[in-house]
Amino acid sequence: MHRKNEGAVTEYRMTGKLFVLSGPSGAGKGTLREHALNDIPNLKYSISCTTRHPRDGETDGVEYRFITREKFKEGISQNLFLEYAHVHEDFYGTLKQDVVNELNAGKNVLLEIDIQGALQVKAKMPEALLVFVDVPSVEELERRLRNRHTESEESLRVRLKNAIIEREQKDKYDYVIVNDDLENACKELREIFTKS
C-alpha cells in the first residue's frame, strides 16, 4: 500500500539542507547514518513515528516514536506528516513540523526512510537530496539479515521481497552508494553531504 500526502511544503525557508537516506533493510543505512551524524557538524536526525513494536534495546523517542495505529491515523488525517508509508506491515512517517523547524533554524536534516517516503519528500521539497544505500547483491543482503538475528523467517522474506522492488527504483535517487566496504561508504556519504 502506498498513500501520498498531497501538496508541496511551503512554510519552510530551507536555510538548512535536507538529506534522505534509503535502501534495503540490511544495507547498512543505520550504521552509515550514525557515522554521518558523528562526522558532520550541524546535521540533525529526524526521529520517525512508527506503529511497529520496539525491538530489544530500542527506546521510545530515541530510535523512533512508537505510537499506536490510532494515533498514526489521527496524524494522517491532521496532515501532520511530511511523508508516510506502509512498510513491512507497519506505518512509518516523518513529522512535517520537526523537519520544517530544523531547516528554518539553519540545521541540516537527515531522514532515514523507505523509498515510498523518499519520493514523497522529493515531490514536496525538490531540493532534498536523495541517497540510496545499496548492497552488492540480494544474496549478500540475505546473509546480513540472517546474521542480524532480528527477524522471523516470515519478516525476513518480506524484507527480501521489498528489497528487490526497492533496488529497481534506485535510479530515481540523486546518488547511489554500494555499501560493500563500510569505510568507503562512509567516505562517499561524507563527500556527498559536504559538497552539496
Euclidean distance between CA atoms 117 and 93, whole angstroms: 8
| Shortest reach from residue 18's CB to ligand 5GP, in Å | 13
| Shortest reach from residue 9's CB to ligand 5GP, in Å | 15
Write down the H helix ranges in 27-114: 29-39, 69-77, 96-104
Instruction: Give whichever of 19 and 92 is closer to ligand 5GP, judged by the CB atom.
Output: 92
Give 129's strand partners: 19
* CB-based contact 86:12 (threshold 8 Å): no
How is the beta sheet containing 175-178 ordered, strand by strand? 43-45, 108-112, 18-22, 129-134, 175-178
Instruction: Give whichever of 112 and 188 is closer to ligand 5GP, judged by the CB atom.
Output: 112
Instruction: Give whichever of 92 and 193 is closer to ligand 5GP, judged by the CB atom.
Output: 92
User: Max alpha carbon distance in the chain (Å)?
Assistant: 45
Instruction: Give whichever of 114 and 188 is closer to ligand 5GP, judged by the CB atom.
Output: 114
The binding site for ligand 5GP (CB under 6 A) comprises: 25, 48, 52, 83, 85, 87-88, 92-94, 112-114, 116-117
Euclidean distance between CA atoms 103 and 108, whole angstroms: 6
| Shortest reach from residue 22's CB to ligand 5GP, in Å | 6
| Shortest reach from residue 13's CB to ligand 5GP, in Å | 23
| Shortest reach from residue 101's CB to ligand 5GP, in Å | 16
Euclidean distance between CA atoms 124 and 126, whole angstroms: 6
Euclidean distance between CA atoms 28 and 180, whole angstroms: 9
Instruction: Give whichever of 149 and 195 is closer to ligand 5GP, judged by the CB atom.
Output: 149
